[in-house]
Structure 1
Amino acid sequence: MGCGNLFFTILISFSVALITYNILISANAPLRQEFPGPSRSSISVDPIIKMPLERSRRNGNSKRLFHTAVTASDSAYNTWQCRIMYYWFKKFRDQPNSEMGGFTRILHSGKPDQFMDEIPTFVAQPLPAGMDQGYIVLNRPWAFVQWLKEADIKEDYILMAEPDHIIVKPIPNLSREGLGAAFPFFYIEPKKYESVLRKFFPVESGPITNIDPIGNSPVIIGKEYLRKIAPTWMNVSIAMKKDPEADKAFGWVLEMYAYAVASAIHGVGNILYKEFMIQPPWDKEIGKAYIIHYTYGCDYTMKGELTYGKIGEWRFDKRSYDHVAPPKNLPLPPPGVPESVTPPEEASCGGVARDRNGVFLKGIERNIGSCSINNLELWGILTDKMASMGHGEALGVRIVNQPPDVIQKLLYDNIHGAGVLRDVVV
């Protein structure tokens, strides 16, 4: 009994000593205003190069929705682009990994048009006559100023996009607190034009490297930050247009430089996200990109060879349709054209063959351009009877030796010239 009492006395004394030690250590430990090392290292990615993939998952399942805003005039040229853009926005808005919220076309023509019921629209007033000096893009920052002041925007973030953007996958919120997410343009060169930019971003404002090589689109940014930036963006744009040296130096990208300067003036940096969008024909693969920007003309031979600078046998240039929308029967790209130029999904075809016992034999997939292969060619490729002719490679067909996970979308009957072959029994 005495040994038992001694044991419990020693145990209690040790416990009291341990608790007292921990209290003293905790009381004298310095408080830290940051996350522990391992958590910080998991997101320690240079924000100038790439966003950490876990950026949107830090808050569990909570979404940081952003509102997509597109400025446009009421011209036929802008209108058909907006209708296409809004179609693809709706297609991906509610899909997994999307943080896309509402959508607004900011129409800076000053009056409603016939598409108000088709596309959510805010009507903004244009600049006073003559102020844009023939540079209609000057209306963009002024339109944003009006929209941000007058509209009821539910989301806390804004994606500034353009009519000639095609969304190709659900877009998450790529921004971080205090930082926007923007696409870097190779032709926005603040260092090269430092002497000109110092008129609008004086030395006391900071180093010229504070001006990011961006435009206003595509950019995801906090709504309150944009409310501060937008009036400055407008004023800098107008001041640059009035300055002969700046007007000559920046030309058609003047308003882009103005946004970059305005963002720097307000101390808002940007994560330069190279995979935000692609620009065909220079970018050949969609890869991880969220947006296709079809600002450049695409010219190809019927063999799929690029002929940039020379009108091709097959071409698509948005400027060819400045007064009328492209026709519904617009010819699709020839075989061999990169996937960045071909229409998403609708350009797929293929087939699956099984023996009489239902065992998978072989399949094909084709995802480039319009389909000109007929039943016989499909059958020949499928059974390897034409393999010696290299037909599969010429047509851009991939032989599938394992059963595909998804079969139903391998063939679209509505593509001209495509053979109707789905699940063949031999």
Structure 2
Amino acid sequence: MSSSPKSLDSSSALELLFSPGDKRKGRKRKILLKSIEKTVQISISFLVALLCFYGIYRAIDDTHPETLAKIPKFGSSGGGGGGHFLQLRHDDDEVPMSSGSSARKRFSGKSSRLVDSLANDLSRAKTALTDAKIHERAIEVELMETRARERSIYQEAETLKSKLIGATRDQVEDVVEDVDELLRDWEFELGDPVEMEHASPPPSEAMVKHEEAKEEGMGKKVKVGEKASELTAAEREQQSKTGAGSSGSSSDRSRSSTSSGDSSSSRSGGGSSSSSSSNNNVLADDASLGTCEAHEHTEYWGAVVLNGDNHKTEDAGKCCDACRNLNRASGNRCNVWVYNPNSKACWLKFEKNIKEMKPANSGAGVPWVAGKFTDLKPPKPPQHPPATGKRYEDMPRCLHGVMTSSGNAYMNWQSRIMYQTWQNHASQPGSIMKAFTRVLHKGRDDELMVEIPTMRFEPIQTHCDSWCDYPVADRSSAIARWSQTSDSETCSHIVMLETDHVIVKSPPESILLPPGQAYGFEFTYINVNHPTMRSHFSEEYGDKSKGIIPRTGNSPTVITAEDLRKVAPKWAEFVARTEQPENVKKSLGWLRDMYAYDLAAFVSGIKHTFYGAGKPESIMAQPPADEELGGAFILHYTWGPEIYDVDGTTMLWKFDKRAYGGGQYQRGPYKLVKLEDPPPWKEGLKLQTFFAPRAISENKHALIAMLITEINAAIDKLPRVPKGHDSLEEAQMWASN
């Protein structure tokens, strides 16, 4: 066989290529040409690749020489100084290279390690940036907590000033007045007109009553406690025997107490007169509480005051007494009791129409023993000093917070937190927040009369003391009556608040607008041209000279005390008119109170300036619906935020006021438990599906965290038992469910 062209020497190959016209050698010539072409292509490709790697190497060497310094070096077989696999010479750009496939493999390995090194550096840089952001957020939280502690110190200082140990009330007042006078003199010498302008106004009527309520109320309760303690064990045993049966009425028990009291007097020697007098007082007090009528095999309706599942007594007589005791000191909290002899459950209730009430169930098969008090004397309605007619210019320039409430247990735990946040920020130097009043529209006092400065007004809807579907309907009437009292003249301006508001800072003086103007919050869901309002109040809407109807509602609104006296009566009138007919009430729904206020402001000619959430001029934000705090000093937690992980289905955290403390219908006063902090922010967290979009921005998360921080700071300062009560049981007697 003929030899392959690859085995030819150079002279034979040249002869083969250039031999003319030899057909026998034509096939070998073609094979040789193809071999040469392939070799040239491989050489060109290698040169191109080598030039590309050289360009990359030069770029790295110019910009990141420290990276190349990390690459291990290698040299020749002699152990002397080696060099990089490419030794760059910038003077003549010569590139000595190792030859063969070994050099190419080393070059490829070094390039791969170089890319990995750059990727690792980038990853470490991203991790460091993330850690820095987390650290920054931790610093912000710590700063917020520091500010809260600072506010706490200010508050404690104010409290200590009013608690001079061993001093009488007059001495305390003298010292406080002296301190305030020294502070005013000091401010005058410094020439600070702003601080002089915000000098504390005289204490409001609610504040004065708040200070006096504990002494008066506790006096009554001590008196009752002394009466109860004077009953000897023998008397209690005798009363128990007398009232053990279902027919043991309270009148029988009173008579047995009389005979026992007489025998006790004969044994007590020199103290008999005092003991007899005390027992007579007990009997007189019992007589004023009404007569208990007991009925076997009977069950009565009534709003629950104490749940019998958690309230047991030995017999029906003691169940009756438990109901009677709730009516001491004009409490009038119980007029129906229902007792089960088998389970010992004693249910205490209150029924408005007690004289017309008929049994819910009766007959031999009914195991209950029930009784009712039909002759309880209603407590006297509260009386408040009337307004003196002060004008705007006659009042101190400051802000008076007014919070309305129906006094149920659900609203009262919110009220305690709200008032505490007000105190936290009102204690800041230069604050314009100088007075606070809770306007309570309820038929009787509740457990917070001492802890929060309160003025009570009789409700229009008396059944709301137990339960009603729209307690807000009493708000306008209560505010209207309060605006006619001297307490409303404490400050030049009023801010109307709600129980689920939280104060996060002291507002600027710029919100105190002159008479004829008010400052509010824009609720975008208010339709100022609501067809039902236009048709039902056609005469009022027809007056175009009054300006534009605001989209605010009454709360939060900052208004002068003088202007509130004009708006509030109209507001109460319009609320009453939205209750009838039924189609108007149904069309306006829960917003009818807000629509009525806006129309009253319009008719009264009070121009409202209002801004939505997140703006520098805004006064309120509502997490989690809003993104920014803006200029707000109030947070409103009407919506309950739920935070989900990035998958949108795994709930990480939630807060809903309607579920706090076990729900809205628990026995008060609620135990105030600090809320869990929301999880740290990260990209991808989501809210519940109610909100669209669901994504939680970093600013929105910070707003939620601020709300929880303020609530917890308030809870830290609030005792388990509201101020003015010696025990939880005593506070529970004054609370209503």
Alignment partner of 1:341 out of 676, 692, 704: 704
Alignment partner of 1:136 out of 460, 465, 471: 471
Structure 2 CA distance, aligned partners of 1:201 and 1:179?
Answer: 24
Match of 2:445 in 1: 112
Q: Would you say 1:262 and 2:600 are equivalent positions?
A: yes
Q: Would you say 1:316 and 2:651 are equivalent positions?
A: no
**Cα offset, 1:201, TM superposition:** 5.0
**Cα offset, 1:199, TM superposition:** 2.5
Per-residue displacement from partner, 1:77-131 (whole Å, max 9, x unpaired)?
1101111011110011132452112001111112211221111011111104479
Structure 1 CA distance, aligned partners of 2:584 and 2:595?
Answer: 10
Match of 2:521 in 1: 183
CA contact (8 A) 2:437 2:453 kept: yes
CA contact (8 A) 1:190 1:208 kept: no
Q: Would you say 1:301 and 2:636 are equivalent positions?
A: no
Match of 2:506 in 1: 170
Gaps of 5+ in 2: 1-192, 199-396, 613-617, 682-695, 713-737
Structure 1 CA distance, aligned partners of 2:606 and 2:566?
Answer: 10
Structure 1 CA distance, aligned partners of 2:639 and 2:526?
Answer: 17
Change (3 A) 1:265 1:312: farther
Alignment partner of 1:87 out of 416, 420, 425: 420
Per-residue displacement from partner, 1:348-379 (whole Å, max 9, x unpaired)?
xxxxxxxxxxxxxxxxxxxxx99xxxxxxxxx
- Between structure 1 and structure 2, the one with the greater Rg is 2
Structure 2 CA distance, aligned partners of 1:328 and 1:81?
Answer: 12
Structure 2 CA distance, aligned partners of 1:118 and 1:293?
Answer: 22
Change (3 A) 1:201 1:87: farther
Structure 2 CA distance, aligned partners of 1:146 and 1:187?
Answer: 29
Structure 2 CA distance, aligned partners of 1:113 and 1:158?
Answer: 24
Match of 2:409 in 1: 76
Q: Secondary structure at the match of 2:536?
A: coil
Structure 2 CA distance, aligned partners of 1:345 and 1:320?
Answer: 15
Alignment partner of 1:158 out of 490, 494, 498: 494
Change (3 A) 1:346 1:162: closer
Structure 2 CA distance, aligned partners of 1:109 and 1:187?
Answer: 30
Aligned residues: 286
Amino acid in structure 1 at the alignment position of 2:665 = H
Change (3 A) 1:344 1:241: closer
CA contact (8 A) 2:405 2:438 kept: yes
**Cα offset, 1:243, TM superposition:** 3.0
Match of 2:544 in 1: 206
Per-residue displacement from partner, 1:190-233 (whole Å, max 9, x unpaired)?
12x14533432524322796211011000010111111111110
Alignment partner of 2:626 out of 278, 283, 291: 283
**Cα offset, 1:263, TM superposition:** 0.6
Match of 2:455 in 1: 122
CA contact (8 A) 1:97 1:172 kept: no
Structure 2 CA distance, aligned partners of 1:209 and 1:314?
Answer: 46
**Cα offset, 1:333, TM superposition:** 1.0
CA contact (8 A) 1:182 1:270 kept: yes
Moved more, 154-163 or 166-175: 166-175
**Cα offset, 1:133, TM superposition:** 7.4
**Cα offset, 1:270, TM superposition:** 0.5
Match of 1:328 in 2: 673
**Cα offset, 1:329, TM superposition:** 4.5
Per-residue displacement from partner, 1:41-85 (whole Å, max 9, x unpaired)?
xxxxxxxxxxxxxxxxxx955342021000012211110111101
Change (3 A) 1:209 1:334: farther
Moved more, 240-249 or 73-82: 240-249
CA contact (8 A) 1:175 1:271 kept: no
**Cα offset, 1:150, TM superposition:** 3.1
Per-residue displacement from partner, 1:378-398 (whole Å, max 9, x unpaired)?
xxxxxxxxxxxxxxxxxxxxx
**Cα offset, 1:138, TM superposition:** 0.4
Match of 2:578 in 1: 240
CA contact (8 A) 1:184 1:273 kept: yes
Amino acid in structure 1 at the alignment position of 2:477 = W
Change (3 A) 1:331 1:288: same
Structure 2 CA distance, aligned partners of 1:242 and 1:195?
Answer: 12
**Cα offset, 1:332, TM superposition:** 1.8
Change (3 A) 1:128 1:334: closer
Change (3 A) 1:208 1:168: same
Q: Would you say 1:145 and 2:480 are equivalent positions?
A: yes
Change (3 A) 1:73 1:171: same
CA contact (8 A) 1:280 1:296 kept: yes
Match of 1:360 in 2: none
Q: Secondary structure at the match of 2:677?
A: coil
Q: Tell me the C-alpha RMSD between the 2 structures.
A: 2.9
Return the structure number with greater relative CO, CA threshold 8 A, min gap 6: 1
Amino acid in structure 1 at the alignment position of 2:680 = P
Change (3 A) 1:176 1:343: closer
Q: Would you say 1:197 and 2:534 are equivalent positions?
A: yes
Structure 2 CA distance, aligned partners of 1:183 and 1:167?
Answer: 15
Q: Secondary structure at the match of 2:477?
A: helix
Question: TM-score by structure 2 length?
Answer: 0.36
Q: Secondary structure at the match of 1:160?
A: strand
Q: Secondary structure at the match of 2:496?
A: strand
Q: Secondary structure at the match of 1:115?
A: coil
Q: Secondary structure at the match of 2:702?
A: coil
**Cα offset, 1:156, TM superposition:** 1.8
Structure 2 CA distance, aligned partners of 1:169 and 1:78?
Answer: 22
CA contact (8 A) 2:677 2:708 kept: no
Structure 2 CA distance, aligned partners of 1:209 and 1:188?
Answer: 17
Change (3 A) 1:187 1:105: same
Amino acid in structure 2 at the alignment position of 1:314 = W
Change (3 A) 1:118 1:260: same
Q: Secondary structure at the match of 1:342?
A: helix
Structure 2 CA distance, aligned partners of 1:245 and 1:175?
Answer: 39
Structure 2 CA distance, aligned partners of 1:115 and 1:147?
Answer: 18
The equivalences for 1:382-393 within 5 A come to none
Match of 1:102 in 2: 435
Q: Secondary structure at the match of 1:262?
A: helix
Greater percentage in helix: 2
Greater percentage in strand: 1
Q: Secondary structure at the match of 1:341?
A: helix
The equivalences for 1:346-425 within 5 A come to 346=709
**Cα offset, 1:141, TM superposition:** 0.5
**Cα offset, 1:172, TM superposition:** 3.0
Amino acid in structure 2 at the alignment position of 1:117 = V
